[in-house]
Amino acid sequence: MTESTKRTLFLPDTPPSPPGPLQYIHGTAQVRAGVHGGFVESYSILDSDYDVLLTQHAVGEKWALVNESEFLLQERTVRIDPGDYVQELQQHLRAAFGYTERISSLCVRLESTEATLCTVLKKLDRTASYQRPLWVPIESFAPEPYELTKPITLVVSPSDDGFEASFYDGELHASGETEGEAISNLKALILDTFEAFERLGEERLGPAPLRQWKILKTLIRRTGT
């Protein structure tokens, strides 16, 4: 493992005088610094063995010459393992690239989350407007030749792919793509069931159909042929 020496130059807080372009040469190091109103604005190191630490910054336009005693506050010698330095640099580069990739990944995830959120909000809106069951009073089977002895209430609620209308007293249910279609299908189902049960007769009805028939025959009456 090779070791090298690196020195750090500490610049003074106080301005060099007079203001203007400055150049400092110390041993093998050449340092240029910009000053404005005496404060160091920027610097460049011509000798890579030196690292310069600035203590104050200001926007400057002029350059000033300073002598060594004004410019160099103190000099420190540190021992640096070049291998460690390279490794540290690699780590910094990896971290920087990793950070960029992570930000990119986060942006993609954010966009995806945003799209999902929009979909969920739309569904919520739709659900809020659809979820409430509709109570629909039925007073007639016109133009079918049947009449109701008293109005019945159908309940229409959204289902997988449309709507479902139910006549709970008669244990009868029908589906439709719209509320209207579901109601129309259920009204047809009620009359079809009434006719089928009437044709079969009570002796051929099992427990559930018999119960349905007893309800239907109290509600429905034939008006014509």
Site residues (vs another protein, CB under 8 A):
159-162, 164, 166, 171, 173-175, 177, 184-185, 188-189, 191-193, 196-197, 200, 204-209
Taking the complex as a whole, how short is the minimal distance between the CB of residue 161 and another protein, in angstroms? 4
Nearer to another protein, 24 or 163 (CB): 163
87 Cβ neighbours under 8 A, 6+ residues apart: none
Assigned token pair, 94 = 């990896």
Taking the complex as a whole, how short is the minimal distance between the CB of residue 218 and another protein, in angstroms? 19
Taking the complex as a whole, how short is the minimal distance between the CB of residue 221 and another protein, in angstroms? 18
Beta bridge partners of 43: 33
Taking the complex as a whole, how short is the minimal distance between the CB of residue 190 and another protein, in angstroms? 10
Nearer to another protein, 93 or 188 (CB): 188
Cα–Cα distance measured from residue 102 to residue 56, given in angstroms and rounded to the nearest whole number: 34
Nearer to another protein, 54 or 215 (CB): 215
Taking the complex as a whole, how short is the minimal distance between the CB of residue 124 and another protein, in angstroms? 21
Nearer to another protein, 70 or 198 (CB): 198
Cα–Cα distance measured from residue 210 to residue 202, given in angstroms and rounded to the nearest whole number: 6
Cα–Cα distance measured from residue 208 to residue 23, given in angstroms and rounded to the nearest whole number: 105
Nearer to another protein, 73 or 215 (CB): 215
- Burial state string for 188-211 with b = 16 or more CB within 10 A and e = fewer than 16: ebbbebbeebeeeeeeebeeebee
Cα–Cα distance measured from residue 151 to residue 135, given in angstroms and rounded to the nearest whole number: 12
